[in-house]
Amino acid sequence: MFYYYYYHHYQLIFYFLILFINKTLSTTERYAHRRGDVTLGGLFPVHEYGNPREPCGTISEFRGIQRLEAMLFAIEQINNDKQLLPGIELGALIFDTCSDDNYALEQSLRFVRSRLASGTCICINTSTPELFHNDNIFGVVGATLSSVSVHVANLLRLFQLPQISYASTTPKLSEPSFDYFARTVPSDSNQARAIVDILQSLNFTYVNAIYSHGDYGEGGFREFKRLLKLSTNIDDDINIYKKRQQRICISDEQRLKRDASIYDIKIILETMLERIKPDVQARVYVLFVTKEDARKLLQAIKLFNGTYRPVLIASDAWGKESSVVINGETDEIAVGALTLELVSIQPSNFDRYFNALKPDIINRKIYENSHDEKLKSSRNPWFNEFWENRFGCNLTSTICANHQLNETNWDSKLQFIVDATYVFAQALHSYLNCTSLKCSNISLNHINGTKLFQLILEKTFLVPDFRQIQFNSERFVPGHYRIYNYRRSHLVSSDINALPYEYVSVGEWKTGRNKNGQLNLAIDSIVWPGTNIHNLLSTTTIIPISRCSTPCRVGELRQFQGDSCCWVCTPCNETSIVVDLQEHEYCEPCSIGYWPTINRTSCYKLEETYIDILSIQALIPICLSIIGNIFTLFIVILFYKKRETPVVKASGKELCFIMLAGIHLCYLMTFPILLKPHVITCIIQRLGIGLGFSMMYAALLTKTNRIARIFESTKKQGKLRPQYISPNSQVAICSCLILVQLLLSLLWLAYERPAVDLIAYDRLVTLKCHMNKHSFLFSLTYNVLLVLVCTMYAIRTRKVPENFNETKFIGFTCYTTCIIWLAFLPIYFTAYETGRHQVHIATLCITISLCATVALACLFSPKVYIILIHPEKNMRLTKQVKAQADTLPFSSKDPIQTNHEKFTHDISNNDLSSKSINNNDYEENSQPFVSKLTVKFQSIPKDCKKWDKTTKKTKQNQSTMITKTTTHSENILNNEKYQVKIKKYNHDDDDSLNSNPIQDEEGML
């Protein structure tokens, strides 16, 4: 409080010191004055800024004369209104600011000086002094520049003198310290918000900024940066842009110093260009500059000779000002610029009022004859200067005074000047408790500025053209801007270069009391500066690019590099979406059964699919399964009907039926695998696949083990017969092996419960039984072990005599099965990893069917061939047939000779005599006699000699038949050593072996 108190008092002393100095230095001062009961002050830039020594430069028609006359016009309108301030005449006291804050402050001191003094003696001439009563000033309209308004407001607030500006827009003036300041225009916070919206709509995310020295440029740019920061701060409740995805960053910012020259600005532009990286496109420049700086900026850009053509977006200081663009010099440089201008309407009848004005010839003569006055006054003492400048003449000439104003271009701030004047008048009307007929008898010399300003902020005022004005909490009115594009006229002409340049409206931005703005921009109608450096007149309708980094493609993540507008693109997984939380982005995978949308911002549910039963991947396994099942059932039926025949019995019918059941189960597994996955079908798969394989390979292992043990026993002298080779024993062993697999499968079900998985791959969701690939392999390990052991036994028994050749088929089955599984594994896992689940399932079905087919073809086709094609081989030789064969002429206990082959057999070499094995014992215990060719012994007559003499040809045929019949006997005799040992072990209890277990069990296979 003490600091605040002393600060403003020192400030007051400083202002009066300035007044004292200027009173001694001033030579000629002019002001516009209209007498009245109460006076309203005014500040207007009648002259442009000159230089530090001479602050006032050339006359300003639009911002100076038109605006000053607008205030005088409004005062005349108010005085002519009998219901507004009845009985009170409103006067005016207006000073020129020359767009200089120090000069304007000097002029404003006259407002407060008149309040401190009771009277002043003003001399019009030295000989006739007269008393001039001080004006009772109750408020000030102005100023134009924000920097001027800031200085003036700091002065007027010390005297509780209300001030309403018609053009100052800096956000600084909304601070609480300016508690006697209001404005009929919106703050630059609205303008900055409008520019941010324009940049976002055009996707300009990386821009440069240039602003002028002073409160207008610095305040506007400061608000612009604040909004950009808010647009990326999601924690700020005030942030109205937090839902927007675009970020805007400033590549470079430069402040133009006061009185900067064209070459100074050119150096600044060159510096900004050098700082832009080669791969960065920052072509847009946001301007918060005064009208004078904007004009110099265009001239500086022209010095680049077309090699530098930026896109300019300027604030309302440029607006629609024709004086910014120098005709014939910087028109082509300004083409494509977007400027903002406050939406305003032309005050009614002001055009007629202004165009009817004439120069004051009488006052001009008074000024010329008065060389010693320090003060010259007139209603508008600068109008004559404007007139001469407008028509390029001198009022000393009669022709000059006869010109007629025919103005059609009007300043955009005229409405706000009229509004400010009417607000003061209506507030004073309320302050004085006036009615439509009269005002209360209150002294006009002691108007309470605090109470008057309170009325200004609280009331809603009706201004001309049936409009209402009400100030918000920051003491300004809501903003409404029109957006202009500077370009050539859209008129049709054969010579486009002859068309004039103009400001074309391309959109608007407006806001309400809640500060939310709405942008309407016709982007397609905007003309942009071209990129052809050899043609300055080139234009385009293609939106320029102004960004730091190229936008990421769909599905790519932005990795920001320090600046939030510069990034590196990193692709997300194809099953992930890009989630943007404004403060950061990340890849989020879609849930199982979902897939990213095309724009990769959300996930949608995929349709659940499974292998089509009519697809080629399903039809091939189904056909194999059906054909395999048909053949399997056929063999089962055939073996059941022929179960008492030697071939079936010698094959071990019990193990054969177990093996056929396993083959049948393997074929059937195709259907639960191909059906729509369900928990039940998944259980069947887990149990059935392993069980089918174990039934096949357990039976096969039992058989190969039995053969190996039998032949191993024949090589060992003095050993007992092998144990557990009977049919019942073999079935028991096989069942135990199968139960092991069943137990493992049940443990697998308990450890990894069956379920249906959703497998998403390449926009497909496939239903699949939950089966870990490693656990699936583990479940097959036991069956692989069975196959390997079978293969080992097949290798060990590969050298058995030719009659016992089923081991060859067993070995071939094992070898082929191993090859199938080795080929299956890479295909299976490749399809699994790549997500080709239909191929994965089809491969599994075909592999299972192939394994069953190999076992069926290799182990059962030879037996089916004998049963169906050569049934005569599927029979047992009786004693009667054997006796008939022995009585034949060529029958002998010696070896049989034919013209086809000769068989020499030395019985002593086989130790038959030492073993005391007679022929009757051999015949009695001989195995079923199975030959390789068809032999019909029942057709041989008992008297072989008579038969031989009867017909030679028949005899030869029969001899050949008997010779061929003995071919198998030769093999038996060649293995007589094994037969003798088997006889020694007395295998009579094995029904399947009959008397000769080896020949009966193995030779038939």
**How does DSSP classify residue 374?**
S
Question: Residue 356, exposed/middle/buried by CB under 10 A (0-12, 13-18, 19+)?
Answer: exposed
Structure tokens at 529: 């500066």
Using CA atoms, how far apart are residues 927 and 857, in angstroms rounded to an integer? 27
Question: Residue 516, exposed/middle/buried by CB under 10 A (0-12, 13-18, 19+)?
Answer: exposed
Q: What is the pLDDT of residue 193?
A: 92
181-224 pLDDT tens trace: 999 999 888 899 999 999 999 999 899 999 999 888 998 999 99
Helix axis angle, 653-668 relative to 679-714, nearest 10°?
Answer: 150
Mean pLDDT of the chain: 77
Least confident of 137-151, 784-798, 903-917: 903-917
Which range of 232-241, 508-517, 590-599, 803-812 scores highest in mean pLDDT? It is 590-599
Quick one: which of 895, 876, 986 has its CA closest to 937?
876
Using CA atoms, how far apart are residues 748 and 741, in angstroms rounded to an integer? 10
pLDDT higher than threshold 50 for residue 728: yes
Least confident of 435-444, 751-760, 973-982: 973-982
What percent of the chain shows pLDDT beyond 90? 31
Bond from prior residue into 852 cis (ω within 30 degrees of 0): no
Q: What is the pLDDT of residue 792?
A: 85
Higher pLDDT, 75 or 938: 75
Q: Assign 532 a pLDDT band (cuts: 50, 70, 90).
A: low
Using CA atoms, how far apart are residues 418 and 452, in angstroms rounded to an integer? 19
Question: Residue 436, exposed/middle/buried by CB under 10 A (0-12, 13-18, 19+)?
Answer: exposed
Q: What is the pLDDT of residue 414?
A: 94
Q: In sequence order, what are the residues at sequence separation of 6 or more whose Cβ sits closer than 8 angstroms to the Cβ of residue 49?
A: 55, 56, 57, 98, 99, 100, 292
Phi-psi map region of 827: left, alpha, beta (phi>0 left; psi -120 to 50 alpha): alpha
Q: What is the pLDDT of residue 457?
A: 94
pLDDT higher than threshold 70 for residue 76: yes
Q: In sequence order, what are the residues at sequence separation of 6 or more whose Cβ sits closer than 8 angstroms to the Cβ of residue 591?
A: 603
Q: What is the pLDDT of residue 840?
A: 77
Least confident of 342-351, 440-449, 556-565: 556-565
Q: What is the pLDDT of residue 323?
A: 83
Q: What is the pLDDT of residue 104?
A: 93
Least confident of 64-68, 487-491, 730-734: 487-491
Q: What is the pLDDT of residue 817?
A: 84
Q: Assign 536 a pLDDT band (cuts: 50, 70, 90).
A: low
Higher pLDDT, 645 or 294: 294
Question: Do 927 and 994 touch, CB atoms closer than 8 A?
Answer: yes
pLDDT higher than threshold 80 for residue 69: yes
Question: Do 339 and 198 touch, CB atoms closer than 8 A?
Answer: no
Q: What is the pLDDT of residue 512?
A: 61
Q: What is the pLDDT of residue 617?
A: 83
Q: How many CB atoms lie within 10 A of CB 357?
A: 17
783-835 pLDDT tens trace: 888 888 888 887 887 766 654 557 778 878 888 888 888 888 788 777 766 66
Higher pLDDT, 929 or 822: 822
Q: What mean pLDDT is predicted for residues 338-354?
A: 92
pLDDT higher than threshold 90 for residue 396: no
Q: What is the pLDDT of residue 723?
A: 77
pLDDT higher than threshold 60 for residue 131: no
Q: What is the pLDDT of residue 50?
A: 85
pLDDT higher than threshold 80 for residue 497: no
Higher pLDDT, 149 or 712: 149
Residue ranges of domains in the chain, CATH in brackets: 11-161+348-403 (3.40.50.2300), 188-344+479-540 (3.40.50.2300), 556-592 (no CATH), 616-872 (1.20.1070.10), 875-1001 (no CATH)
Q: How many CB atoms lie within 10 A of CB 115?
A: 16
Residue type, 383: F
Model-level pTM? 0.59
Structure tokens at 856: 């069926």
pLDDT higher than threshold 50 for residue 261: yes
Question: Do 97 and 45 touch, CB atoms closer than 8 A?
Answer: yes
pLDDT higher than threshold 70 for residue 126: no
10-58 pLDDT tens trace: 455 555 555 554 444 344 568 899 999 999 999 999 999 888 888 899 9
